[in-house]
Amino acid sequence: MYDQAIAALPIRAADFDRVRKLAHSVFGLDLRSGKEALVSARLSKRVRDLGLADIPQYLRTVEEDRTGRELACLIDALTTNFTSFLREPQHFEILRGLILPSLENHARFQLWSAGCSTGEEPYSILFTIADHLGERGVSRLNLLATDISTRALDAARGGVYPLDRIKEMPPSWPKLYFQRGRGAQEGLIRVRPEWRQRIAFDRINLMEDLSRVPKSHVIFCRNVMIYFDKATQEQLIRRFTDRLEPGGWLLIGHSEGLMGVRHDLEFVRPAVYRKPPLRGER
């Protein structure tokens, strides 16, 4: 395993500032003073993988790469992809008890997992809907899962997780939705292919134009905005509001309240907001 304490390269204040400005302008990340050691540790492995001398040379490589591939690698290095199945379980109780009943009369409904990381969130959404509405409900569902990290998306599409993730799930899920690894795959579980194919995974930068994202009845964007400053959070909430259908729901992380962020959404309960429905509808 990569040893950050031993292998991290030095980073000058000017280079940290270059990384900070680049991260903020490209994908909204708010890197503040005190994160220098973290940034150095995250970038040092990529520096060595490319056979470069130091972090300044790596940043020049990123800036000169017109393909954008190395910028994507930089984003992968700086983003944190911690998640779990049914993380913040209150949201899934609200999905079952409040949101899905409001969608019962829709011929189709669109959900968006924005910042889906390695896939545990969209799979949790899918399996919750399957448990609650059965095949009839799932057949009416369009589920989009997006992230800026290509590495995280590759993992999400693959749907392979350590076996110990089973303890986070309802007892019926492993048998219904997963295959258990054998031989070289011992100790792993994988989402069954017929369930993986029900989710559309795509790379989307939330700081860019979101007009190609379908209007959604529900958007999950949890524990993403904690990495943004208030101005960026406000901009993103406006973008989400535009991509919500009237009466649509926005679920954010419980540590991310919208205090101090101007928005046009109705507060439902902590970390749950709703776009006002059309006149005469609820």
The per-residue pLDDT of the chain, averaged, comes to 91
Residue-wise pLDDT tens digits, 226-271 = 888 889 999 999 999 999 999 999 999 998 878 889 999 999 999 9
Determine the average pLDDT of the residues in 155-172: 93
Clarify whether residues 71 and 100 are in a common domain.
Answer: no
* Annotated catalytic residue within 46, 76, 147, 222: 147
Clarify whether residues 185 and 253 are in a common domain.
Answer: yes
Number of domains in the chain: 2
Q: What pLDDT, on the 0 to 100 scale, is given for residue 280?
A: 61
Prediction pTM value: 0.85
State the residue range of the domain holding 115.
90-274
**In the structure, what pLDDT confidence band is assigned to residue 2 with cuts at 50, 70 and 90?**
very low
Q: What pLDDT, on the 0 to 100 scale, is given for residue 3?
A: 43
Residue-wise pLDDT tens digits, 93-111 = 999 999 999 998 899 999 9
Does 83 fall in a domain? no
Determine the average pLDDT of the residues in 133-159: 95
Of 45, 78, 111, the position where a domain reaches its end is: 78
| Alpha helical stretches, state H, the chain | 4-7, 13-27, 36-49, 55-64, 69-78, 90-94, 100-102, 120-138, 150-158, 173-177, 193-196, 230-243
* Annotated catalytic residue within 15, 18, 20, 42: 42
Known catalytic membership, residue 42: yes
Clarify whether residues 188 and 165 are in a common domain.
Answer: yes
Which residues, at least 6 apart from 150, have a Cβ–Cβ distance to it below 8 Å? Answer: 72, 76, 203
Query: Could you give the dihedral angle defined by the CA atoms of residues 262, 266, 269 and 272, in that order, rounded to the nearest 10 degrees?
Result: -80
Known catalytic membership, residue 147: yes
